[in-house]
Amino acid sequence: MFGLPDFLFIPAVVIAVLLVLGIAFWARYKTVGPDEGMIVTGSFLGSNHISDDGSGRKIKIVRGGGAFILPVFQKAEFMSLLSHKLDVTTPEVYTGARGACHCRRGGHYQGGQLHRGCGYRSRAVHGQAD
């Protein structure tokens, strides 16, 4: 069949199937570097690195590694884990006790949060504790 002797046909089919499965696995295996994160949502997440929000929704968090993403059941989103310097300047910051003060503060932005921003600076100027 197909110009192959009968004793070579079955091994050729097995090799072809393994090759197709290998290409499919390679195409769906997603990796992230040490300064990136991958959030995987959907079904069949496995049991490692799973976070649950209490209402039944689960996510898988992958840092510096990889995961096999099932095409129909899962979705992967990538995010940077690097911090960025962000300078914030406002003309006036109004405080409850002493009126307005000027504020210029640099902070590090990481993961959706500005660490030690302008509110911290205005309390420090007026001698109030954190």
pLDDT digits (tens, 9 = 90+) for 56-69: 888 998 888 888 89
Residue 124 has a pLDDT of 47
Q: Are strands 58-63 and 113-115 parallel, antiparallel or unpaired?
A: unpaired
* Tokens encoding 62: 């992958």
Full DSSP string of 15-34 = HHHHHHHHHHHHHHEEE--T
- What's the pLDDT at 87? 72
Residue-wise pLDDT for 66-93, tens only, equals 888 988 899 999 998 887 776 777 766 6
Within 8 A by CB and 6+ apart from 54, the residues are none
Residue 65's pLDDT is what? Answer: 86
What tens digit of pLDDT does each residue of 12-24 get?
A: 899 999 999 999 8
For the entire predicted model, the pTM comes to 0.53
**For position 6, what pLDDT does the model report?**
78
